[in-house]
Amino acid sequence: MKFTSSSQELKSLLKSEQDKGKSIGFVPTMGALHSGHLSLIKQAQKECDIVVCSIFVNPTQFNEKSDLEKYPRTIEADKNLIKNYCDYLFAPETAEEVYGDKIELIEFDFGGLENELEGEFRPGHFQGMANVVSLLLKIVTPDKAFFGLKDYQQYKIVCRLVEIIKLKTEIVGCTIIREENGLARSSRNELLSEKGREVASVISYTLNYIKKYHAHFSITEIQEKAKAMIQGILEVEYLEIRDAETLKNITSWENNNGVFVSFAGMIDGVRLIDNIRF
Ligand code: PAF
């Protein structure tokens, strides 16, 4: 695996790969890599000749400065984890390397997708994320870019982003990787107590319950029931049942583009998210 922190160097390395006719798969990350990220990288390996991973803790997608400062930076461990699966690792050391001299954010029109669900709790987060993804995609110019479906709203926004900025990159959504007990993999799981990690399995249990039994209930009924199943074990921030395309509220189980159930909640002072679609 070749490592670079320079966008210019990365561009010229990738240009020579593309000149040889190689396809490029890209996995953007913020580091603190775990098996969930590795599964994206392995998916990229399956589908493309060359795999590029980036590690950049993007300042513009954090609402709290303290969150940005606290964000785990584990570059040596990250390199070790991915070195056998990835061809190029791009880890810029400064924001200037990605944004240029001055950080100027573009306000993309995602038709309100960015204000639903996570957007309500993290104002500006998705615009910051989209800005950095747009810049990274322009540096890497991949054929395909791989995103985890645990961040389904992010995935939908990135799909819209490539249409807006007219890039040919195909956005691939990859299945959620779970612990044995069903808990969705996340860097944040490391911060949970042993007990917390065990009981947080109630999230995926409840999401699966909704999928299995939804037809017996109205949307409001099952939403209340599901919240009650989790509340007391985790502090529920939201559990929303939405249209899988628009992310807007639905009023019936029919007449939608698929059902998307999205959860966010806290345990051990750690915020966890998860979702299911059917
Ligand atoms: O999902 C993430 O890790 C980040 O939001 C991303 C896509 C790397 C942009 O900073």
Residues annotated as catalytic (active site), given as ranges: 37
Gap between the Cα atoms of 172 and 39, Å rounded: 13
CA angle 197, 201, 203 (to 5 degrees): 120
Strand 270-277, strand 170-174: pairing: unpaired
The type of residue at 195 is K
Average pLDDT, the chain: 97
What residue ranges define each of the domains in the chain, with the CATH number in brackets?
A: 2-174 (3.40.50.620), 187-277 (3.30.1300.10)
- Strand 270-277: give its sheet, edge to edge: 235-243, 259-267, 270-277
Token couple for 116: 């639903």
CA torsion angle 144 145 150 155 (round to 10): -90
Residues with CB under 6 A from ligand 1: 28-30, 58, 61, 129, 132-133, 151, 154
Token couple for 29: 């990350």
The per-residue pLDDT for range 21-71, each reduced to its tens digit, is 999 999 999 999 999 999 999 999 999 999 999 999 999 999 889 889 988
Neighbours of 187 (CB within 10 A): 17
Q: Distance from the CA of 112 to the center of ligand 1, in angstroms?
A: 20
Work out the percent of the chain whose per-residue pLDDT is above 70: 100
pTM for the full predicted model? 0.96
